[in-house]
Amino acid sequence: MPLRVLLAEDNADSREITSLILSESGFEVVAAPTGRETLAIVEESAIDLVVLDNRLPDISGFEVSEKIHELNPDLPIVFFSASAYEVDKKKALNCGAQAYLTKPDGLLNLPETLKRVIAQQR
């Protein structure tokens, strides 16, 4: 049974290409364009891991990460963002993320990073 990944990404093109790469790597992908939709899916569905952009249109990824950990403290989160600032990476890790990759360079490493994070959780 494939791992179910929730991709929180507001940019339609990024969401599509990231979903495609993850699907081709054997993940089942559920996508959400906003923080609120991400949180609703976490509450209502069985998800194995969340891939989270830190710049969503309604709620910051950092806030979403904190709320996810209130709902499900064991659900792993990987930030995948265009922001390469060290302060954002540190903030994401402090909000409970297991990893932080930057776009677009990290896209090819994303599937392996997700597999590594899942393996560490188990």
- In tens digits, what is the pLDDT along the chain, a chain of 122 residues? 889 999 999 999 999 999 999 999 999 999 999 999 999 999 999 999 999 999 999 999 999 999 999 999 999 999 999 888 899 999 999 988 999 999 988 888 999 999 999 999 87
- The confidence score (pLDDT) of residue 105 equals 84
Domain assignment present for residue 120? The answer is no
Q: What is the extent of the structural domain holding 90?
A: 4-110
Domain assignment present for residue 92? The answer is yes
Domain assignment present for residue 8? The answer is yes
Domain assignment present for residue 116? The answer is no
Domain assignment present for residue 81? The answer is yes
Domain assignment present for residue 118? The answer is no
Give dist(CA 18, CA 36) in Å, integer.
20
- The confidence score (pLDDT) of residue 118 equals 93
Domain assignment present for residue 115? The answer is no
Q: Into how many domains does the chain fold?
A: 1
Q: Check which CATH number belongs to the domain holding 76 and give it.
A: 3.40.50.2300
> 8 vs 27, 44, 82, 90, 122, CA distance in Å?
15, 15, 13, 19, 23
